[in-house]
A = this chain, B = another copy of it.
């Protein structure tokens, strides 16, 4: 029932969306037909899961029209642009990631934050990764401070750890959110440093979005996020499987997908979990929301980094909104990390859909990033 309702709404929306840009206009007619067929196949997810009881719980938390509800949340938390504001007030984000092996992921997360509307985006990465990440864009501030084991002698580890922490601490209080994990790698010494950075972020009440190798770290050391309500985990299929095995000591059970997700968040002390999939399921251990807006069938690497960068910005904005007593009357849910996840999932899916409409099978993460601004403006126009 849910999927057919959303499905009908989506088809209606498609007609409207065909006016998105001149280019889309030209492509609209055949593309809409193909997308309609695709949608009907795609939006069967929940009704096939044999989980009607839990499904009702999810439905009860949203409005009947889930897409409209998600867009309302995105609109509500996106701050107005006001010329009296100064640099930094729209958000300062830091990504902890980028090593000798991986440089694209932290770039995607950091540039996403800027493209959505954050004012400043930093990356803290290894010395090898920094020049490459810098070269992708002059807009990102890249700090080459992390070290991997291969370049550190055992006797120097303590002093280097202290130096890394001192460098990050100079900035910590200024950040509205940290993204830990994109392109982080799994070097033991580097992960030790990142564990300490997470502890400091937590002491400073800075929200932490954990993805990629950050989830590897956290799964092996749950105390880093356990009981921290400003932590957000964004696992994909495999990362979720490892989390469930470690925390619930069982296998993933999709017949009780929602119950299991709720248990998982509760067991980790009320962190927010965004379980990525055909439908994104989001919970803080109390409520569950699903976002199943039509996105793209392309599964090119890097889309998770767009999501984590987006969650960081929207969570920062939602925190500002929820903490300003005069503006928080009607928004639901009230948890800023839940709001941030719902908005981020919605925006990524919209942008991916637009990019796929134009680029088809050759759609890359960079293409999706280029549609973030337009997709956000479609939902929440600047005034």
Contact = CB atoms under 8 A, between A and B. Distances in A.
A359 interface: yes
Interface residues of A, number: 74
B117 A362 contact: yes
Interface in A86-103: 86-90, 100-103
Q: Which of A83, A88, A137, A300 has the most CB of B within 10 A?
A: A83
Given A138-B108, A360-B373, A361-B373, A383 B299 contact: no
A209 B361 CA distance: 22
A67 to B, nearest CB: 16
Interface stretch (A58-66, A139-147, A188-196): A139-147
B22 A116 contact: no
A360 B382 contact: yes
Interface string A229-268: 0000000110000000000000000000000000000000
Given A365-B139, A376-B362, A300 B119 contact: yes
A302 interface: yes
Nearest to A144: B100
Given A103-B134, A141-B101, A236 B87 contact: yes
Given A373-B362, A376-B362, A302 B138 contact: yes
A120 B301 contact: yes
A128 B131 CA distance: 8
A299 B121 CA distance: 12
A72 B27 CA distance: 23
A301 B119 contact: yes
Contact of A81 (B278, B361, B374): B361
Nearest to A89: B299
A301 B87 contact: yes
Interface string A100-134: 11111101100000111111100000001001101
A118 B120 CA distance: 29
Contact of A104 (B128, B141, B297): B141
A138 B300 contact: no
Interface stretch (A34-42, A322-330, A336-344): A34-42
Contacts of A38: 83, 383
B103 A138 contact: yes
Given A81-B298, A87-B236, A135-B136, A102 B141 contact: yes
Contact of A302 (B83, B139, B144, B301): B139
Given A81-B298, A104-B140, A134-B103, A237 B364 contact: no
The 7 closest A-B pairs by CB, nearest first: A362-B373, A104-B138, A81-B297, A117-B361, A87-B299, A135-B135, A115-B362
8 contacts: A34-B382, A83-B278, A104-B139, A120-B301, A135-B135, A139-B300, A360-B373, A363-B373
Given A83-B278, A141-B301, A360-B377, 12 more contacts: A38-B83, A81-B297, A83-B295, A90-B299, A103-B134, A104-B139, A105-B138, A117-B361, A120-B301, A135-B136, A139-B366, A361-B376
